[in-house]
Structure 1
Amino acid sequence: MIDVVGVGDDGWAGLDDGRRGLVERASTIIGGQRHLDLVAGHVAAGAEMVRWPSPLRAALPALLERVGDAVVIASGDPLRSGVGTTLVELLGADQVRIHPAVGSDVLARARQGWSAEQTVVVTVVGRDLRAVLPHLAPGVRLVVLCSGGEDPTRLGALLTEHGWGTSLLTARWHLGGPDEGALAELAHEFSATTADLVVVCVEARADDHTQVARTAGVVPGRPEDFIDHDGQLTKRDVRASALARLRPTPGAHLWDLGAGNGSVALEWCLATDRATATCVERDPDRAARITANAEALGLAGRVEVVVGDTTAIDLTGLTEPDAVFVGGGLDPDLLDRAWSSLRPGARLVAHAVTLEGESALIATHNRAGGELTRLSVEHAVTLGRFLSWTPARAVVQLATTKGTP
């Protein structure tokens, strides 16, 4: 059994009797050097003090097998961007007991007077700072857990670059401890290096409300220029229809087969927390552009890109999908293989712009059911001194859900 004891910046003084007793009775105590120092004067004689190995996750199984029962010392709430989550994933919840302290995100909200219901917590500890970007909208309150004292200034520069320079940033460090401090500045003015153990409270304010109104929010159908592209992407009105039927849900995984520049997969991930995608694209330049677009949108690590021809790729080697999207240049065999790959309850949306593709969709509809829709979109453009409608290429859309065998 592993007992994970959360410790605040107030150290031993902040522990209750229960957590103190676990530390005092432990024969093996594991943690980072800072955490071990916080409890070093209160452990049993002969207790083994073990620092985390490196690389952590790869070396953990051997360490845990060697020590058996142990007490782990961690920061605040060990299940908030902490080692507690890793230990539960490795050992199972029945082998790990969590004894949390008040986390830094909770203390930050308390100092700000922000309710939990109105605050989003984002961690960039050991991650790309751009992970903050998908959460931005006018009036949003964020608590950002940072890696180090340079992150508040870097965050201010990032927000300014993306049109949020008038947002108010309040950096708070060593929350709950004797060295607690704070500094509040507008994002475009923030230039200080703070102490480590820092979080940043963000009150999001847009510099350009017109631009923000075009792209903010989770509803799909962003303008084509929300990503870098070469013209090969599903246009916004048709894309919004596809995603309405794909139904992104938290943690769900999408296959975007023939992804082009990745617009469908990227909006799938932006629509909800923890959604992920695998994009299959045969053109290496477009595949690289998908990765770059994902990073620019703060989706690094959530979008996998596979370079290959969808007509030949082995779909069984991909992460099991909750939904599959097949773009306009579909191949009948690909459609059959995609459908066969779906588990019960998973969804398929496929588009066709050719008669051959339309025939394949009709055949699949006859076999699997679902909705068969013809989408025709027209845009008003200038014609001399007047406006006139210009139609886009019509798209036939199949949307269906795999039933129980």
Structure 2
Amino acid sequence: MPEAPEGHWLTIVGIGEDGLHGLSSAARAALEDAALVMGAARHLALLPALKAERLSWPVPFEEGVRMLLSRRGKPTVMLASGDPFWFSAGTSVTRHLEQREWTAHPAPSTFALAAARLGWAIQHIECHGLHAAPLTRLRPCLVPGRRAILLLRDGPAVGELAAWLTEQGFGASTLYVLEALGGSRERIRQCTAETLDLTDIAHPVAVGLSVAGEGRTLPRSSGIPDDWFDHDGQITKRPARALTLSALAPRPGETLWDIGAGSGSIAIEWLLSHPSTAAIAFEADPERAERARANALALGVDRLTVIEGRAPDILEGRTRPDAIFIGGGLSQSLLETLFALPGGPTRLVANAVTLESEALLAQWHALKGGDLLRIELAQAAPLGTRRGWHAAYPLVQWSIAL
């Protein structure tokens, strides 16, 4: 990458459906002085005559970033929807630049316009950009009485949203279909998800969602019921999962390795704890790996990365993350590998059920310290005409800071 020029050369201008109306004088001046204006075709069409060359943003999007960066040092304007740094394209470019190379002039975001039209307090609602993201990302927020504003790809995507909400048991939810907000084509219509029959929804479109219905609500505490996960029996059961998540202690922005992930339940609950968390699931069985991916998608955390392979071989050359859980494949060589990897500080939690793996954790606890916990659980079950306690296998859990 060439040396950064003196002063800023790139101006990022947030533009709405009303074109130049409402733009600051500085944004207007940047457009008048630019040698090139680059943006989506619909945004370029909103501009008056300018001396600058106009260039439509290409597909794929990353090609446009490359083209823009190739003009480094020449006065350039990049057009972005509304606020360039809220579900828009700003950071796609600025992460490649130094602060002094660019400046930005945001316009009201679609979220702000939608909240203003609906009279919703934006600090109390969820905002999602779903142009290229699965609708299942909404699963954790499907709670009756909650509200959200969603940016969608196009008109047909509104129909897909309505069908998915109905399938989840939330067909009674109210949809406010918000088209071309802020422009001359602005239109707002209201219906329920189960009665949507609009066939002429225009792009760009957002939806205000007021959740209602009898669908199942995903708990936000650690240890959600096992039946939220598709599994073949290889799953950390709910009580043990809650204790394991407590020991792992997820924090915003942290990354987890889930080794021997099985159904992916630990990694998925880690991701549900905060939208900024990340997780990598390592699973040797291809069928289980695919099941973990499907579970993550269904529960709204499609950002889970699943890597097929057997530990410790699959870990070679990696740097330890913030936290590691060993749910399967516990061995002497795996523990030796984890302790030898660069990185840290790292919180390690390992669960064991067999006598052999219990003995291994006891040895490492004696050698390295940490906390060793024996968990014994029993559940009421029929016993003839009465009831008795059905005990699960004891679980030994070792947790330590590396």
Give TM-score, length-normalised by structure 2: 0.92
- 1:190 matches 2:191: no
Preserved CA contact (<8 Å) 2:84 2:90: yes
2:138, 2:390 → 1: CA distance? 39
1:114, 1:320 → 2: CA distance? 43
Once the two structures are superposed, the pairs formed by residues 8-27 of structure 1 within 5 Å of their partners are 8-27=16-35
**Of 123, 128, 132, which aligns to 1:122?**
128
1:238, 1:116 → 2: CA distance? 37
Alignment correspondent of 1:230 = 232
Once the two structures are superposed, the pairs formed by residues 5-404 of structure 1 within 5 Å of their partners are 5-41=13-49, 43=50, 45=51, 47-66=52-71, 68=73, 69-193=75-199, 194-208=201-215, 211-212=216-217, 216-300=218-302, 302-317=303-318, 320-341=320-341, 343-402=343-402
CA shift digits 1:248-274 (9 cap, x unpaired)? 233322111011111111111122103
Report the CA distance between 1:276 and its aligned residue: 2.1
Q: Which AA in structure 1 matches 2:143?
A: A
SS at match of 1:218: coil
- Return structure 1 stretches of 4+ with deviation > 4 angstroms: none
SS at match of 1:13: coil
Preserved CA contact (<8 Å) 1:165 1:186: yes
1:224, 1:62 → 2: CA distance? 49
Preserved CA contact (<8 Å) 2:320 2:344: no
1:350, 1:182 → 2: CA distance? 53
CA shift digits 1:174-194 (9 cap, x unpaired)? 111111111211222223241
Identity %: 38
Report the CA distance between 1:93 and its aligned residue: 3.8
Preserved CA contact (<8 Å) 2:65 2:92: no
Preserved CA contact (<8 Å) 1:156 1:165: yes
Preserved CA contact (<8 Å) 1:169 1:200: yes
Give TM-score, length-normalised by structure 1: 0.91
1:123, 1:218 → 2: CA distance? 21
Q: Structure 1 residues 63, 320: CA separation in 2 closer, same or farther (over 3 Å shift)? A: farther
Report the CA distance between 1:102 and its aligned residue: 0.4
Report the CA distance between 1:367 and its aligned residue: 4.2
Q: Which AA in structure 2 matches 1:101?
A: A
Q: Which moved more, 1:88-97 or 1:145-154?
A: 88-97
Alignment correspondent of 2:11 = 3
SS at match of 2:136: helix
In structure 1, runs of 5+ residues without a counterpart are none
Considering fraction of residues, name the structure with more helix. 1
CA shift digits 1:32-61 (9 cap, x unpaired)? 1111121242x2x3x221222332214523
Report the CA distance between 1:90 and its aligned residue: 2.1
1:20, 1:36 → 2: CA distance? 14
Report the CA distance between 1:120 and its aligned residue: 0.8
Report the CA distance between 1:18 and its aligned residue: 2.1
2:226, 2:235 → 1: CA distance? 8
1:387, 1:117 → 2: CA distance? 50
2:53, 2:93 → 1: CA distance? 19
Q: Structure 1 residues 326, 185: CA separation in 2 closer, same or farther (over 3 Å shift)? A: same
